[in-house]
Structure 1
Amino acid sequence: MDRVRVLVADEHRIFAESLATALSAEQDVEAVAVGSVPAAQHLLERIRSTHETPFDVLLIDADLDGAVAPANGTPPLLTTAHERYPAMRTVMLAAHDDAGRAAQALAAGASGWVAKDSSLARLLTVVRGVLREETHLSPTLLTGVLRELARDRRHRDEHQRLVESLTPRELEVLRCMLAGLGRKAVAERLYLSPHTVRTHMQNVLTKLGVHSTLAAVALARRAGVSPAE
């Protein structure tokens, strides 16, 4: 019988270990617990480098710092997990329902949002279900999540239209800004003068309707613009 490997990441280590132990009591489940995003990322990296059997499902504490949004300059755990193991499914473990955060997690690739106080039988149903490409949300959360996703789609479409108003050179400059390059570095990369780069940057801000580089970068990310390599 193939065993389902589950990684539980929760800042409440006792909860994580208790849940991992309960899941591992099932004949077809093997679960491991970690207490932070860095610990989870380190474990995933070690498995990849040593060619160990990867995890099938990642259960993440929805309140864990760095789970969905970047923290301390590092990519969120959801992003790292999907980049390294595209086949691995992720499910958010939440203390309470939050349509906005659930929609953000689903948009980032999560396959479900489940209450932490769910029964073990419910969690096992979710773990096995997401491996069958199912998405798991409570009925009371579903309407709010669909509303949030529709609103985000409208905003993303508007952001994409703003980005499409940029010239090819302005788009190059914006991608450099996304990569964290300053004016001098952008000038060297694109073989332009700093003055020309400043003009392009100002044009980018004007066309995107923002007043700072940080706001332009945030809008570009929401529009799906990729940073310069």
Structure 2
Amino acid sequence: MPRHGSLTRVTIVEDHALFAEAMELAITLQGHVVHRVDTDAEGLSQNRLLTEVLVSRPTVVLLDLQLGSSIHGMPLIRPLSQVGIAVVVVTGSVDRSGWGEALFNGARTVLPKSAPLNTILSTIRLIQEGRRVLPRDERDRLVADFHQYRAQEQDGRERLATLTAREREILAEMMDGRQVREIAQAFVVSEATVRTQVKSILSKLGVSSQLAAVGLALRGRRDAPPVRRRG
């Protein structure tokens, strides 16, 4: 148990109540001061969540990335890190590029939720002692994965931008799982016309299948989906 003069203030930002309670209990038993942010609070916004965390004056923040449908933990990492708070991401995601993004933004390390609670406790102790919690080579690999993924996303957006308005509409129909016959009926054109448009889409996107085109669209246009047919 840490000495009284070296207590660590730990703030938990986690929307899974049982998991948060388990972490809170384990960390409290180690003698740390623990605060849990209510991620279910009515009207909670990204800025309000950041304020709630800062008000708790933490030394360490245990941060989940998925905090509901409208709030994400990633934007909190940089501002917290910039004021000297050690951010430890504890996530259910296994996406290495997402882990790399968290580290790029300033997180000390990323731990899977499947990790034993002792791993979280050990990480807090290492931070408390001023020691490194993630090997530099592992951090570099994860950050490189993030940069590679971001470059692929940008390339995908640039390819999608070459599509005509009608091709974007056709692609949107494909994303909805519609077949050529259904798309032709919806646009009142021949199936041959739709097949030609699909071939053009595949060519411009540099892919060989409709499935690959949909996958690229989902990655490259995550924040701005293709224009959908009206009516």
TM-score normalised to the size of structure 1? 0.53
Aligned to 1:195: 192
Letter in 1 for 2:167: E
Question: Percent same amino acid among aligned pairs?
Answer: 24
Count of residues paired in the alignment: 178
User: 1:216 Cα deviation (Å)?
Assistant: 0.8
Aligned to 2:124: 122
| Conserved 8 A contact 1:103-1:149 | yes
Aligned to 1:29: 35
| Conserved 8 A contact 2:167-2:201 | yes
User: Structure 1 residues 27, 157: CA separation in 2 closer, same or farther (over 3 Å shift)?
Assistant: closer
State whether structure 2 residue 100 is matched by structure 1 residue 101. no
State whether structure 2 residue 150 is matched by structure 1 residue 153. yes
User: Structure 1 residues 108, 178: CA separation in 2 closer, same or farther (over 3 Å shift)?
Assistant: farther
State whether structure 2 residue 14 is matched by structure 1 residue 7. yes
CA distance in 2, matches of 1:158, 1:142: 24
Q: Compare CA radii of gyration and give the structure with the larger one.
A: 2
Matches within 5 A, 1:1-229: 6-7=13-14, 9=16, 18-23=22-27, 29-30=35-36, 47=40, 51=42, 56=49, 59-60=63-64, 78=66, 81=68, 83-86=69-72, 89=76, 92-93=89-90, 101-105=95-99, 107=101, 112=107, 113-115=109-111, 116=115, 117-119=119-121, 122=124, 138=134, 140=136, 141-224=138-221, 226-227=225-226
User: Structure 1 residues 163, 52: CA separation in 2 closer, same or farther (over 3 Å shift)?
Assistant: closer
| Conserved 8 A contact 2:103-2:110 | no
1:61-106 Cα shifts (integer Å, max 9, x gaps):
xxxxxxxxxxxxxxxx83x73x4225785864379xxxx9332345
CA distance in 1, matches of 2:124, 2:33: 17
User: Structure 1 residues 189, 138: CA separation in 2 closer, same or farther (over 3 Å shift)?
Assistant: farther
CA distance in 1, matches of 2:181, 2:89: 42
SS in 2 for 1:114: strand
Q: Which moved more, 1:154-163 or 1:203-212?
A: 154-163
User: Structure 1 residues 107, 227: CA separation in 2 closer, same or farther (over 3 Å shift)?
Assistant: farther
Please provide the CA RMSD for this pair.
Answer: 4.7
| Conserved 8 A contact 1:9-1:16 | yes
User: 1:217 Cα deviation (Å)?
Assistant: 1.0
| Conserved 8 A contact 1:103-1:145 | yes
SS in 1 for 2:200: helix
| Conserved 8 A contact 2:162-2:204 | yes
Letter in 2 for 1:145: L
Unmatched tracts of structure 2, length 5 or more: 1-9, 54-61, 78-87
| Conserved 8 A contact 2:168-2:226 | no
TM-score normalised to the size of structure 2? 0.53
| Conserved 8 A contact 2:24-2:34 | no
